[in-house]
Every structure is written in C-alpha cells, then in structure tokens.
Structure 1
C-alpha cells in the first residue's frame, strides 16, 4: 500500500504547493489518487492555515475529499502539538461527528494510550506511530495490538544507512513480541527514499508526500504531491 501524506505541519513558505485549504486538499487527493496512491494522511487546517482537530473543520475537509475520492481511506494526524495542545485537544477528538477512517497516534507522546482508547471507542482505526526503539518497547509493553490497524515505523531525518538500521531495530522488537500487524515504513527528509526502497523490498507499505519531503529521488524539487507518489511507484520492486 502506498499512502500519500499531503501536508503535515508545513506552510506555503516551505513549498508553494503545500495544500492547506479544503479546496487544495481536494485537488491533491484527486491528483495523488490518479498517480497511484492508495490511502491519504492529512493534517486538518483551520481557516488561518494552522493545524486543528476541531470537529467542524475535520467534517468539512473529510466530506469534501470523500466526494471526489470516495473509495480512498483517509487518516489524520493527532499530534499533541496541535492546538489547544496536550490533553486539551481530547475534547475536539471526542466531538468528531464525521470521522476519519483512521488516525495516527505517536507513542512518544504521554497521552498516547488515552488517545488510542478514545479512537477505539469511536470506531476509528489506529496507526501506532513508532519513532524509535523506545517507542517500540512502549508499544509492545502497553498497547493491545488488536486495537490497531497497523504500525507506522517512522524514521527521522538521517542518512540511508542509519535509517535502515533503525528501521530494522524497531521491526525486530515488534517481531520478538509476535506483533503481526501490517507495517508502514516511511522516513523524513534524507531518510525518505531509503525507507521507500526498503519498504518495497520487504513487502511492506510506505508513504510519501510533502509532509515527509519536498525532494524527488534525484534531489530535485518536486512540483507537487503527485510527482512524489509517481516517483515512489516507480521504485516499487516487481
């Protein structure tokens, strides 16, 4: 599976084509679908472009995207940095009337188990985000695997050798705990393309998009999210 991560927390001063408005997210959802993406991961934005989990903003965005790509699962980020921040954002999540298909939860955040419990009660799938071996150990020690849709092995902005080594270490912890959940492996910055290649080689899912990189495999600037998706598809091992 190839997921397109359309925006993250970036703004137009990072890349003019970063989608922020509902109309821009709809446009990019359609273009990455045509380019070969299977799923979407988005960060909902308020009218001022800031990240939000506010129920009406989420509803408007999801409804608009689903009208254009109705067969495409949509996930959202739930990071603790999103205003009003920390546990104060729980009320926004509880207030969702229209729900995403899944949401990512970072195991390096103190309230991760609480957010996961809320999402499970609401019937929202969970992507468990593991950024390190410490996150992986916390996941296998504290979380019921059956409550999760998949595991995100998320490698920070490091060189290719470091990226693949860290990915192996995290995956080994999961395997030793008999975790059979699907894995989506992705990187940030310099680690993006090594992780995409490793994921395809190992038969895992992966993701690309402006949240993770603005650069194509050859180091040139990607014009849009669709170009990143096309590049990732071109690297897939047949």
Structure 2
C-alpha cells in the first residue's frame, strides 16, 4: 500500500503544487491515485489556509475527494494538536463531524491522544496511530489498551539526514517491536523520505509519499505535484523490493 500525503502543514509558500482548497485537494488526490496511490491522507484547510478540524471545513474536503477519487480508495485526515487549541477542542470537533473520513491519524505522543482515538473508533473511523521517532509515542502505544484496535501504525521517522535515516528507521522499528500485531506504514521526512521509503520496500511494509513529507524528487529536483512524487515513489519502492531485506 502506498498512501499519498497531499499537503500536511505545508502552505502556499511551499509551492503552487501544494493543494489547499477542496477542489485543488480533490484534483491532486485523483491525479495521485491515477499514478498508483492506493490511499489518501489530507489536512483540510479553511479558505485562508489555516488547518482546521471543524466539520464545516472537513465536510467540503471529503465531499470533493469522494466525488473525484474512486470509491474503493480510502480517504483519511490528520488530527494534529496544532489544528485546534487543546485535546478537549479536538474531541469536540470530532464529535460534531457530519461527514466521516475512512480513517484519521492520531499522534500518540500528544496530550489526549487515547481519548481522541477512542472517540474515532466509537464513531467507526479507522485510526492510524502516529508514532514519531524521538518521542515517547512508542512507549505510550505499547501500554495502550487501544493499541490492538487501531487500523495501523504510522511509523514516522524524523531523521532528515539521508545518510542515517535508514539506520534510524531500523532502530525505530526495533523499538516498536510487534506493534501489537497491527500493520505498519513506514515513512520519512524531507531528505530522509526517500531512503526510508526504499527501506519500506525492502521490508515489504506499507509506505507513503507526497508533498507533506518532501518537496523534492529522488534526484533532488523540485516535485511539481503529488502525482509526480507517487510515480517516483512507486519506482523507488519497487527498486527497494528487488534489493531484498
């Protein structure tokens, strides 16, 4: 499984290819799926570009995506702490969602993560447990009563150094252990994104790529779109598979 991460915390200053409006998000997602992505992850934005979990912001984005993206392709959203001013506010937003995503990522090191994850599960939304290297997320997840109920673990390697990111990823995966038997999606960030993606290919793990994680193609050239990153990502993933574990 290769997920496309459409925008994340990036904005218009990061380039015209970063989709922000519902229409741009839907168009970018459709192009990425046509290029081979099998799952979509997005951070909805207000008209002024601010990330938000408001149902009035979320619903138009999900409606636009489902009108353009083929039905079998799941669509997920982020629930990062930066999108709302506290865990209680995030829970209230999730409670009032009128249109539900297929899944939502929850950063396990953030305050109130388990409560938000439990609420999402109760509402029938799959949970991606976001475990970031360099945080206590792995330890919290290991002790969580919800760990066996999540859709998958989103293993986020934060080492941006392309020379060390793979080794950091291997160490991180060892810290995660069995991940309570849940599937693992492994990905990196910025200059570490490509070596970690190739490692995911070698290990046969799910992965993701998109403008949220990197603005550059493997050769260092700026990516023009999420679809271009997905095309390159699939090629890099397959090359990793041929290298073996």
- Work out whether the TM-score is over 0.5: yes
Q: Does 1:184 align with 2:170?
A: no
**Deviations for 1:209-230, whole angstroms, at most 9, x for unmatched residues?**
0001100000000111110000
**Deviations for 1:45-104, whole angstroms, at most 9, x for unmatched residues?**
111111011112211111111111122101100001103444322211110121000000
The secondary structure found in structure 2 opposite 1:160 is coil
Q: 1:136 to 1:35 in 2, by over 3 A?
A: same
Match of 1:112 in 2: 113
Match of 2:155 in 1: 153
Which ranges of structure 1 fall in alignment gaps of 5 or more residues?
none
Match of 1:26 in 2: 26
**Deviations for 1:155-186, whole angstroms, at most 9, x for unmatched residues?**
114213432223222322333x5622111001
Match of 2:225 in 1: 224
The secondary structure found in structure 1 opposite 2:118 is helix
TM-score of the two chains, using structure 1 as the length reference: 0.95
| Structure 2 Cα separation of the partners of residues 90 and 197 of structure 1 | 36
Match of 1:36 in 2: 36
Kept in 2, the 8 Å contact 1:66–1:72? The answer is: no
The secondary structure found in structure 2 opposite 1:142 is coil
Q: 1:146 to 1:179 in 2, by over 3 A?
A: closer
Q: Does 1:90 align with 2:106?
A: no
| Structure 1 Cα separation of the partners of residues 11 and 160 of structure 2 | 23
Deviation of 1:9 after TM superposition, in Å, equals 1.3
The secondary structure found in structure 1 opposite 2:29 is helix
| Structure 1 Cα separation of the partners of residues 88 and 220 of structure 2 | 39
| Structure 2 Cα separation of the partners of residues 183 and 46 of structure 1 | 31
Matches within 5 A, 1:1-238: 1-69=1-69, 70-132=71-133, 134-175=136-177, 177=178, 179-235=180-236, 236=238, 237=241
Deviation of 1:5 after TM superposition, in Å, equals 0.3
Which ranges of structure 2 fall in alignment gaps of 5 or more residues?
none
Kept in 1, the 8 Å contact 2:142–2:179? The answer is: no
| Structure 1 Cα separation of the partners of residues 146 and 172 of structure 2 | 17
Deviation of 1:13 after TM superposition, in Å, equals 1.1
Kept in 2, the 8 Å contact 1:80–1:87? The answer is: no
When the two chains are superposed, the root-mean-square deviation of aligned CA atoms in Å is 1.5
| Structure 1 Cα separation of the partners of residues 53 and 119 of structure 2 | 14
